[in-house]
Structure 1
Amino acid sequence: MSELHTIRCVGCEGGIPALTHDEISKLLPQVKGWDVSADEKFISKRFTFKGFYKTMAFVNAVAWIANQENHHPDMEVGYNYCLIKYTTHAVNGLTKNDFICAAKIDNLEATNI
C-alpha cells in the first residue's frame, strides 16, 4: 500500500514545474485505479455507490479531505457515482499534491463509506 496517504500537501502558488512523465509514472502505481489524462495534466477516478446517500457521504468526506489539505478536486456527482479529477492549476499540470490527495481518497474508500 502507498504511504502517500500519510503525507501532507505542500502549498503551491506556482513557480515550480509540473511533474515529468517519469515522475508521474513512478507515482501513478501508488494510487489504485486512477488514470492520467493523455496530456498528463490531471488524474481521475470514478467511484460508484449503492444509492444517493452513500454517494453524498463520500462527496462530503472528500470535501473534508480537500479542505484539510487545501487542495481541491473537480467533482462530477450523480445519483450513484462521483468522478474526481485532480490537477494543480498553479502549474497547469500535476504535482505530488494531486497524488497525495488521491491516496487519501483511496484510503477513505477502503473504510467502506
Structure 2
Amino acid sequence: MNFSEQHCDPCQSGLGLLTQDDLYEYMKVINAGWQISDDGLIISRNFGFKNFAKTMFFINALANLADQQGHHPDVCFGYNYARVSFTTHEAKGLTRNDFICAKAVDELTVASRA
C-alpha cells in the first residue's frame, strides 16, 4: 500500500467504509501518532509546534493539501498545537481517502521539519 502516490476518490463515487481488517492494515502505513476513535469512525493526530507562526504555517499547508486532495479534515488549533481529524462524512466513517490524506499530512510534517 503506497498511499504517497495516491489521490482521493470523489465521494460521489460511493466510497465504501473500511473493514476492521482494512483499518488494521492501513494503520500500519501511517505515522503511529494517528489514533482511531473508540467508535472506529475517525482517525486523529496531535501536532506540536514551537510557536504560533509555525502552527499557522502548518495549518495553511494543510489547507492547501486538503484542497488538492478534495478531502478536508476537521482541525482544532491554538498557539503551539494542532489536532487533525479525518473521516469521510458522506460515508459516515473511515474510507481509503482518510488514510491517503493522513499519509500526506505525515509527509507534510516531515518536509516542514527538514
- Equivalent residue, structure 2, for 1:34: 34
Matched, 1:52 2:55: no
Amino acid at match of 2:78: G
Distance in 2 (CA, whole Å) between partners of 1:14 and 1:43 is: 22
> Residue 16 of structure 1: CA displacement?
3.8
Give me the TM-score of the superposition, normalised by structure 1: 0.94
Q: Quote the Cα distance in structure 2 between the aligned partners of 1:92 and 1:66.
A: 18
Structure-2 residue corresponding to 1:78: 78
Indicate the residue corresponding to 1:102 in structure 2. 102
TM-aligned CA deviation for residue 72 of structure 1: 0.2
Q: Verify the 8 A CA contact 1:75 1:83 in the aligned structure 2.
A: yes
Structure 2 counterpart of 1:21, one-letter code? Q
> Alpha carbons of 1:31 and 1:20: their partners in 2 closer, same or farther (altered >3 Å)?
same
SS in 1 for 2:71: coil
* CA deviation vs aligned residue, 1:31-57 (integer Å, no higher than 9, x gap): 101101111101000000000000000
Tell me what 1:69 maps to. 69
Paired with 1:50 and 1:92, the residues of 2 have a C-alpha distance of: 35
Counterpart-to-counterpart distance in 1, 2:63 and 2:69:
10
- The aligned length equals 112
Task: Extract unaligned runs of 5+ from structure 1.
Answer: none
- Give the CA deviation at 1:73: 0.2
1:70-109 Cα offsets, whole Å, 9 max, x none, are 0000000110000000000011000000000000000011
Q: Which consecutive segments of 4 or more residues in structure 1 shift more than 2 A?
A: 13-17
Instruction: State the percentage of identical aligned residues.
Output: 42
